[in-house]
Structure 1
Amino acid sequence: MSILVTGGAGFIGSNFVLDWLVRHDERVINLDKLTYAGNRQNLGELSYDPRHIFVEGDIGDRDLVDRLLATYRPRCIIHFAAESHVDRSILNPGEFIQTNVVGTFNLLESARRYLECADIAAKTAFRFVHVSTDEVYGTLDHDAPAFRESHKYEPNSPYSASKAAGDHLVRAYCHTYGLPTITTHCSNNYGPYHFPEKLIPLVIHHALAGRPLPVYGDGRQIRDWLYVKDHCAAIRCVLASGRVGETYNIGGWNEQTNIDVITKICFLLDQLRPRADGRPYAGQIQFIKDRPGHDRRYALDASKIETELGWRPVETFETGIRKTVRWYLDNQAWVDNITTGAYAHWVEKQYQ
C-alpha cells in the first residue's frame, strides 16, 4: 500500500510526510516541484528510508501523475501542493492560477482516470483529500462568529480566489464524477520548516539579524493560529474517518492579533537568545504601509471535526510558539541556507 502526497517538500507537506512515516510503514510517494518554498532539506532524515519515494515534478504534468498512479497505485492523494503567500499573489497572480487552479484540475483528471480502471475495492477505499485555507471565506468583523463550513465563499486576494476555484473543482468532481473527495480548510499554520517569508519565521529571522520587524498597518489584524503538527494529526484523522463529499474546518482555537504574535516572539527571544546590548527585541518593531486588500480577521469554528471525528488541537499558542522559536534557534543552518540570494532580494523589495 502507498499514499501520494503532493507538495511534500513544503512546510505543511514535509511535516505531514515526516509524521506519517513515524506512525506508519505505508510507503509515501512524494511529488513536489521544488519551487522556492520547497526544500529537500526538510526531508533530510528520510534520505535512506525506502518507504519515502521522492519525485521532483509538477502536479500540472498529467503524464507524470498518470505514471505515478499507474506504477504505485496509491490508496489516496493528499493534495498540499499550492502557491500560498498572499503578498506574492498580489505581485504575480498568474503563478497562483496555474498551480492552484490548473494544477488541481490536472490532478483531479488524473485521479478520475485512475479510478476508472480500478476494481471496486480500490474505488471504494480511495480518497482525494484537498487541503485548502480559511481565506476562501473572506474576512470577519471583530465580533462576528467564526467561519463554519457552510459560510459562503468571499475570497479577497488572488491567492484565496485561486484556492476557492480549486475547492469548487474538487466539489464538482465529487458531485459529477463520483470522485471520493474531502476538502479541509485550515487556519494559519506555524512550526518547524516554515519558509521565512511568513510572519512568524520572518520575525524570528529578522530579530536575530538585528533588522526591523515589519508590521503591516496597525498590526491589529486577527488570525487563528494552528500548530503544524496538530494540522497533520487532523489530516490523518480526516483520511481515516472523514465522510466523502464533506468539508472540515481545521482550526487552532487560538485567535491572536499580528502585533501580539510579534511581541510574544520578541519576549521569548529576550529570554532564550538575549540581544548583546541587553535591549528588548520589541524595539525593532516598525510599522509599514498596509498591503492592498488586507483581510482584517480570520477565525475557524472547528466544532464539526471535533464532534464527528474526535480531533482537537493539542497545542495552545503559548506552547506552540515556544516550541517554534526554540526550533528556529536550534536550526540556524537551515534558515541560513534559504535566506540569501533571491529570498533576500524579495524581502528587501517587499518591505522597503
Structure 2
Amino acid sequence: MIIDGTSAAAIAQAARALAGGQLVAFPTETVYGLGADAGSDRAVAGIFAAKGRPSDHPLIVHVADASSVPLFASDVPAFAQKLMQAFWPGPLTLILPRRPEMATAAAGGQASIGLRCPAHPVAHALLVACAQAQPPVAGVAGPSANQFGRVSPTTAQHVAAEFGDALLVLDGGPCRVGIESTIVDCTRGVPVLLRPGTLTREQVEAACGERLRSVQELQGEAPRASGTLESHYAPQARVRLMDAKALQTALDVLGPDARGIAIYARAILQTRSAHVLRRRMPDDAAETARQLFAVLREFDAQGVRLIWVETPPDEPEWEGVRDRLQRAAAG
C-alpha cells in the first residue's frame, strides 16, 4: 500500500509499523529502501526473506544523524568522522567496527556494520520518528526495495510492482540521485573504496585528507558490503555494454530484422528496423545516474530481450554509473 510520505500521519504510521517488527519501504535520495528495525534480528530476517537475499550479505543501517553512530559502531576513525561531517546527510555509507551486541543479523554476522544518514526529507522524518517510538528504533536496516540482484527502485510505484499491496510504502517521489551510495571501508586504518557512487574519489579524498585505497591494494579480505557482488542490478533482459562503433555495426548486421532490442546510448545511431527501442543517454553523469534504473525497468516493461548500452566515458564522475552497468551486464 502506497501512502503519502509527506504526511505526518503517514510517517507516524510507518514508524509504528517498524517499531512493531514490520517491513516498510521508504525513499532515500539514492534509491528506495526496504526497511526493518536494525536492532531486531527477527525483523531483519523479514528483509532477507522478502528479497530472497542471502542472510550473510550485509545490510546498510540508516540513522537520523551522526549522534546515533556510537550505538552501532565501537570505533570511528578520525578520517571517518571527517567524511561524516562532509557528506552526511548524503549518499555515503561508512563501514565501521560493530558493537558485538548490535545489529548482528543486519551486519550479516560480520564484525563490521555499514551506516548511512540519508538526505531525503521523508527518510529523515521517518528515522526521527523511529528514534522517538516506543520501543525506540535506533536505526533502520534498509537495502534496496527489490528482489535480490535485480534493478533497484527509484519510485514508490517500482516498489509496489516488486512486492504488491501488502507492503507499506512511503511515497517520497522519484529519487534525485538514482544509484546507491558510495561505500567506504573504515575498518583497516585507511579509507578503502568498496563501491563507487556519485561521490567521486577526488571528493572523498579531499574531505578526509587521505588517499582512497582500492581493495586490491591491501592485504586481507575486505568486509562484505551491499551491492558488491559481480552480478547485480540486473534487469530481466540481457544487458550488453558496447562502444558506439560496435553498436552501429551490430545494428547494421541485423538490419530490418532487429527485434526485441533496446538501446541506451549517447551516440546518434542509425537502424533500419522500426522495432528497436531507443532512449538517449544524457551527456551528464549525474542525470544518467538519476534515470538509469528507471530506464532499465522501462525496457523490461516493454518486453525486450536485449538491452544494448553505450559504455560510459572513462571519467571519474561516471565511475558509479559504469559500476552499475558492468554488474548488470554480468547478470
More helix by share: 1
Q: Which has the higher contact order (CA 8 A, sep 6+)?
A: 2
TM-score for the superposition, normalised by structure 1: 0.24
